[in-house]
Amino acid sequence: MSTPDPREEARALLDRYWTGRGMPVDPVEIARSLGVQVLRGNLPSDVAGVLMKRAGHDPRIVVAAGDSEPRRRFTVAHELGHFVYRGSEAKADPDQYEYVDERSRLARAGTDPVEVFANQFAAELLMPEDVIRPVAKHIPAALLAGRFGVSQEAMTYRLLNLERIRFPRRA
């Protein structure tokens, strides 16, 4: 089975659950539409979020209650990426699984294909390319971050990945 495209998967969810609703996208509402519960919890300081499914129960995402709203939103979208990705795995046990996103693991996300998928999925879900591209040259990243309900850091990475902003060269 081939690896799914995170951008296409995110766009499919947006088309199905968010068409015509404007920004910011509510990843919690999309998760609930997919039958995934979303909760805040007191997680260890090195854990940003958890996607888990226990036999006989609905899947659930737990995010760190102490994180900022933009961070929690990105974590929910990231965990949804894991949910979508695991659904594409041929050996996936549909009744029991768990993904724990440690903050140190998120920092290494550029090397783990599953984490790369989840991050790209989350970026497309919360900051859809077709919405960002037309305005990225005209609106500062800080204002875009507020409009899309993400951190300025997440927006900056998104814009860099879409090749929409340039940093001056250092002397």
For residue 37, being part of any structural domain is answered with yes
| Mean pLDDT, residues 155-167 | 75
| Residue 151 reports pLDDT greater than 90 | yes
Structural tokens at position 109:
């996300």
**Domain annotation covers residue 147:** no
pLDDT band at 137 (very low <50, low <70, confident <90, very high): confident
Give the chain's domain count.
1
Continuous H helices in the chain: 6-17, 27-33, 69-87, 103-107, 113-126, 129-132, 141-148, 152-161
Position 87 in a domain = yes
For the domain that residue 115 is a member of, what is the CATH number? 1.10.10.2910
**Residue numbers of the domain that contains 74:** 6-126
3-state secondary structure of 163: coil
Q: Measuring CA to CA, how many Å separate 83 from each of 14, 95, 125, 155?
A: 15, 12, 13, 23
Average pLDDT over residues 109-132: 89
pLDDT band at 120 (very low <50, low <70, confident <90, very high): very high
